Amino acid sequence: MSNETPIIRLVDLYKAFGEHLVLDGLNLEVPRGKLTTIIGRSGGGKSVLLKHIIGLIRPDRGQVLVDETDITQLGQRELNEIRKKFAMLFQGAALFDSLSVFDNVAFPLREKSNFNEAEINFKVLEVLEQVGLTGMEQKYPSELSGGMRKRAGLARALVLGPEIMLFDEPTTGLDPLLARTIHDLILETQHRYRFTAVMVSHEIPEIFGISDYVAMLLDGKIVEMAPPAQFVRTQNPAIQEFINGGKPECVSSESESVQEARRP
């Protein structure tokens, strides 16, 4: 990892819902300008972790530092200012059904910027072209395939030029070919826009081909974080069992070949 101060640091983070402890003294550093993917068991707290990063959930104890500002200590107005650095792509893209693709993507610009309609039109068409949706401006979400809805959601997230992008299971519900297409698009846009990305995913071994770092959330803690080629060689038996499904040599070699083919 680079010597530069991480853009996000989670320090001794604890969160319980009732008697269920979800985050148990979790520590994580997210390097600036890189794509970090968090993996872990279903229901293990990955989405809860993302919501802490953006301030949608406050921890019971611990710090969430964004550019060294502890957002757990901020009031709502200050927190909203910090959130301007962020955009988030949800599992279902979270598009407004009553709005066209164009108006869905334009919505953040109309709500949060001072651009006039001509400037909004230019920016929307530009970002739609980047995600491969040119010509789909007047379609409605119900008229789009699952993959196209993900693309539209990504366009809306990108249109304000965020510094940090959060991806919550971005390929859920897609077949393997479409999932790979979306992963490639995330990688391409991350390189073009140079944002920091934090992605929660269950897509193994695919995520090893697009991530700069992979982190494993287990029993409320990050138990390992490393570049993919190093991560797949970990001696931690719980991680090997999780990522390899009982076939360590087969999946590890596949992970490395995927990474070599797709990561620049």
pLDDT of 249: 44
Burial class (CB within 10 angstroms; exposed 0-12, middle 13-18, buried 19+) of 241: exposed
The pair of three-digit structure tokens given for residue 217, joined into one six-digit string:
């959330």
pLDDT at 248: 40
End-to-end CA distance of the chain: 17
pLDDT of residue 147: 85
The reported pTM is 0.87
Query: What pLDDT sits at residue 247?
Result: 44
In whole angstroms, what is the distance from residue 151 CA to residue 136 CA?
11
Residue that is written with structure tokens 């910090």 in the block? 82
Q: Is 94 helix (H, G, I), strand (E, B) or coil?
A: coil
Q: Read off the tokens for 32.
A: 């600036």
Q: Of 14, 41, 9, which Cα lies nearest the Cα of 26?
A: 14
Q: Strand, helix or coil at 164?
A: strand
As a whole number of angstroms, the distance between CA 43 and CA 28 comes to: 19
Taking the C-alpha atoms of residue 188 and residue 173, their distance in angstroms, rounded to an integer, is 21
Check whether domain 1-85+164-172+194-264 has CATH 3.40.190.10, yes or no: no
Q: Which letter, b or e, does each residue of 179-194 get, where b requires 16 or more Cβ atoms within 10 Å of its Cβ? A: bbbbbebbbebbeeee
Per-residue pLDDT of the chain (264 residues; tens, 9 = 90+): 555 679 999 999 999 999 999 999 999 999 999 999 999 988 889 999 999 999 999 999 999 999 999 999 999 999 999 999 999 887 766 789 999 999 999 999 998 889 999 999 999 999 999 899 999 999 999 999 888 988 999 999 999 999 999 999 988 888 888 888 889 999 999 998 899 999 999 888 899 999 999 999 999 999 999 999 999 999 999 999 988 774 444 444 444 544 554 555
